[in-house]
Amino acid sequence: MDNKTALKLSVIAAKAKKNALRGIYESQSGHPGGSMSVMDILVTLFFSEMNVDPKNPHDPKRDRFVLSKGHCAPGLYGVLAERGFFETAACAGFRTIDSCLQGHPDMKSVSGVDMSTGSLGQGVSAANGMALAGKLDGAGYRVYVATGDGELQEGQVWEAAMFSAQYKLDNLTLFVDNNGLQIDGDIAGIMNPAPIAEKYRAFGWNVLEIDGHDYHQIADAIQKAKAEKGRPTAVVCKTIKGKGISYMEDRAEWHGKAPNKEEYETAVAELDARIAELEGQING
């Protein structure tokens, strides 16, 4: 990936973060921390890799994405809106009674959502099913799934890890959003899933470890996963919870809390400044 492309993705990510925070602020409900930490992964997938078409969202040949950490729906909605699946203005209705943007992703009501998620630990299994369907049909699409690191405490994640390897699902790529924090605090102090990369290697996966905020590394990992034959790839992404919002960064309290007016305005100002800076670099 060239630098200009990376800069453009950074701008999109900042805009998508604004969409996400708008919904959380308006409804005074939602999960900003993980939505920010997973954002660069989502933007890379939806804007530089995945074969998806907002005008034909159910195309059987499309690549699939499952947000197993479904509470980070605001992040996904923010990206889907930027990608053109629905109006960005719709993000403001997140979690409200007349909106299709449910608190956790609902594949039945939101264009671009490939699987309903929210109950942690189930998304990798669903992604396995999609990848297996692709194998059975000889279809060329790829399946991407993102989990949290706290989510790895769910046993089903490891049942799924065995399954992916058993059925040689090399069309599956898993991103672990390893921000180190969960709602009650530090994952290491609650129920430590580490060492994550070693665990996936032991389960028979191809494993890559990257900085989950570096577009070059994310894009490179996606290409390496595509080249891997006979086994699935797990990309363990070191990330920062609340990334890009100064007062949220690396703080567990922002797992599931909405900003107040002042905090929201600060976040928007920071993101606007970031966008202006990036656009300056792109044009300069």
Partner 1 sequence: MGDIKKVATRMAFGEALTQIGAREDIVVMDADLTKSTMTNLFQKVYPKRHINCGIAEGNMISTAAGLASCGKTVFAASFAMFSTGRAFEQVRNSVAYPHLNVKIVGSHAGLTVGEDGATHQCIEDVALMRAIPGMVIVSPADATETHAAVRAIADYKGPVYLRVSRLAMPVLFDPDSYQFTLGKGHIMRDGSDVTIIGAGLLLHEGVKAADMLAGEGISVRLVDMATIKPIDSELIIESAKKTGAIVCVEEHNVIGGLGGAVAEVLGQNYPVPMEIVGVADQFGRSGKPEALLDAYHMSAPYIVGKVKRVLERKQK
Residues in contact with partner 1 by the rule CB under 8 A: 60, 64, 66, 106-108, 114-116, 118-119, 122-123, 125-134, 136-137, 156, 159-160, 162-163, 166-167
Q: Which amino acid is at 146?
A: A
- What is the Cα–Cα distance from 281 to 75, expressed in whole angstroms? 25
- What is the Cα–Cα distance from 235 to 213, expressed in whole angstroms? 13
Shortest CB 72 distance to partner 1, Å: 16
- What is the Cα–Cα distance from 164 to 64, expressed in whole angstroms? 16
**Residue 99 or residue 122: which is nearer to partner 1 going by CB?**
122
- What is the Cα–Cα distance from 175 to 177, expressed in whole angstroms? 6
For residue 262, the tally of other CB atoms under 10 A from its CB is: 8
**Residue 173 or residue 179: which is nearer to partner 1 going by CB?**
173
Shortest CB 60 distance to partner 1, Å: 7
Shortest CB 276 distance to partner 1, Å: 41
Shortest CB 160 distance to partner 1, Å: 5
Short-list 131, 209, 210, 139, CA closest to 165: 131
**Residue 171 or residue 179: which is nearer to partner 1 going by CB?**
171
Shortest CB 140 distance to partner 1, Å: 13
**Residue 159 or residue 265: which is nearer to partner 1 going by CB?**
159
Q: How far is CA 78 from the centre of its chain?
A: 11
Burial 54-69 (b: 16+ CB within 10 A, else e): eeebeeeebbbbbbbb
Helix/strand/coil for 108:
coil
Shortest CB 163 distance to partner 1, Å: 6
What does the DSSP 8-state code read for residue 145?
E
**Residue 106 or residue 250: which is nearer to partner 1 going by CB?**
106
**Residue 88 or residue 156: which is nearer to partner 1 going by CB?**
156
Give start and end residues of each alpha helix (H) in the chain.
Answer: 3-27, 32-37, 39-44, 73-83, 123-137, 155-166, 187-191, 196-202, 215-227, 261-283
Shortest CB 135 distance to partner 1, Å: 9
For residue 39, the tally of other CB atoms under 10 A from its CB is: 28
**Residue 123 or residue 212: which is nearer to partner 1 going by CB?**
123
- What is the Cα–Cα distance from 45 to 39, expressed in whole angstroms? 10
